[in-house]
Amino acid sequence: MLSKRIGIDLGTANTLVYLAGEGIVLNEPTVVALTAEDNRVVAVGREAKEMLGRTPGNIVAMRPLRDGVIADYAITEAMLSYFIDKAQGRSRFFKPEVMVCIPSGVTQVERRAVLDATMAAGAKIAYLIEEPLAAAIGAKIPIAQAAGHMVVDIGGGSTECAVISLGGVVVHNSVRAGGNKIDEAIANYTKKKFNLLVGERTAEEIKITIGNALIDEDSKGNLKKIEIRGRDNITGLPRTIELTEAQISEAIYPVLIDIISAVKGVLEQTPPELASDIIDKGVVMSGGTSLLKNFDKLITKITGVPCHVAEDALLCVARGTGVALENIELYKRSIAKK
């Protein structure tokens, strides 16, 4: 086969690219930097993320996806083209087959936008696969069995919850809340409580360093702290403050409850036979935000259903997309194609 097969997990925060036969070859932030006057792409991925909040007036760094769906078509197309080029090298003589992941709750218009952008970026054939299904395949869940498996994929822009049985999605629910909303909640908290303005990169750093979904009795004695710098909202001057794990836990709690409500919504609609399977096997969590400390414990505490984070949670969706692409006949019922 001369044309390559590429699987893309097009996320709001990060884009991962899987090359058939090689595995995951790219993991870059979903950020594009453009010139303000003629919308020419200056940088994509890691290089563009470094520019977020730090660009001069003639350059704009932006995220072309919002809440898991395309917000800017032309820029998404340019970004896809860049990732496809980078994954398969410059040999564009044979166009690749490309499979892209989409949230399960997207509309037909949003699906069409992803297919069209992928074709315009240089694909020979474009396939779409739903994120929860790809996450389940990537987490090595035997989805073809006549048994219920529940997957919760928590990314940067959206959370996808689905119950899967016999290779298809039985019940699904998606909520447009994820890692980015948690970062926003942290930035709003420092502004309200300390009159300190912080950028999205600082908010993300706080989340990764001291983010905690559930402060339990054991950890109360040794809570982590972090020093952060930002701009004072009143004086306009730079200032440093100290934040604790307990404060961040309080700040992000409403967003976590939104995510857990989506999980509860799916559990409430699940047929009884499949519900008993889920109680036995537990809920599998994937996606970058599922790595938030104690998040699995919080879901277990509120829903009463055991929960665990998949191995390599960040890579599950990309790996599942690649596996589905390599075994297309096996999963063709669950895939849209153009």
Kindly state whether residues 264 and 327 are assigned to the same domain.
Answer: no
**What integer is the mean pLDDT of 30-38?**
86
Please count the structural domains in the chain. Answer: 2
184 and 208 belong to one structural domain: yes
For 160-174, the pLDDT digits (tens) are: 899 998 888 899 998
- Residue 91, pLDDT score: 64
How many CB atoms neighbour CB 41 within 10 A? 16
Residue 220, Cα to own-chain centre: how many angstroms?
30
Residue 45 predicted with pLDDT over 70: yes
pLDDT digits (tens, 9 = 90+) for 223-236: 888 999 999 999 99
| Tens of pLDDT, residues 79-95 | 888 888 888 876 667 88
User: Do 328 and 263 have their domain in common?
Assistant: no
The per-residue pLDDT for 330 is 78
Task: List, for residues 103-140, the tens digit of each pLDDT value.
Answer: 877 788 888 888 998 898 888 889 998 888 999 999 99
Q: What is the pTM of this model?
A: 0.87
For the chain, percent of residues with pLDDT exceeding 90: 39
Average pLDDT, the chain: 88
Considering the domain architecture, whether residues 200 and 284 belong to the same structural domain is answered as yes
3-state secondary structure the chain: CCCCEEEEEECCCEEEEEECCCEEEEEEECCEEEECCCCCEEEECHHHHHHCCCCCCCEEEECCEECCEECCHHHHHHHHHHHHHHHHCCCCCCCCEEEEEECCCCCHHHHHHHHHHHHHCCCCEEEEEEHHHHHHHHCCCCCCCCCCEEEEEECCCCEEEEEEECCEEEEEEEECCCHHHHHHHHHHHHHHHHCEECCHHHHHHHHHHHCECCCCHHHHHHCCEEEEEEEECCCCCEEEEEEEHHHHHHHHHHHHHHHHHHHHHHHHHCCHHHHHHHHHHCEEEECHHHHCECHHHHHHHHHCCCEEECCCCCCHHHHHHHHHHHCHHHHHHHEEEC
Instruction: State whether 288 and 198 are in the same domain.
Output: yes
pLDDT number for residue 1: 55
For residue 72, count other CB atoms closer than 10 A to its CB: 17
**pLDDT of residue 254 exceeding 90:** yes
CATH of the domain at 261: 3.30.420.40
Q: How is residue 321 written in tokens?
A: 């997309």
- Whether 85 and 146 share a structural domain: no
Work out the pLDDT band at 328, boundaries 50, 70, 90.
confident
Residues 175, 80, single domain; the answer is no
Residues 159 and 92 in one domain: no
Under 8 Å between Cβ of 167 and 187 = no
pLDDT in tens, 265-323: 999 999 999 999 999 999 999 998 999 999 999 999 999 999 999 988 889 999 999 89
The predicted pLDDT at position 136 comes to: 92
Same domain for 120 and 58: yes
Judge if 31 and 157 occupy the same domain. Answer: no
- Clarify whether residues 159 and 302 are in a common domain: yes
**Do 188 and 128 share a structural domain?**
no
Give the domain extent around 152.
141-310
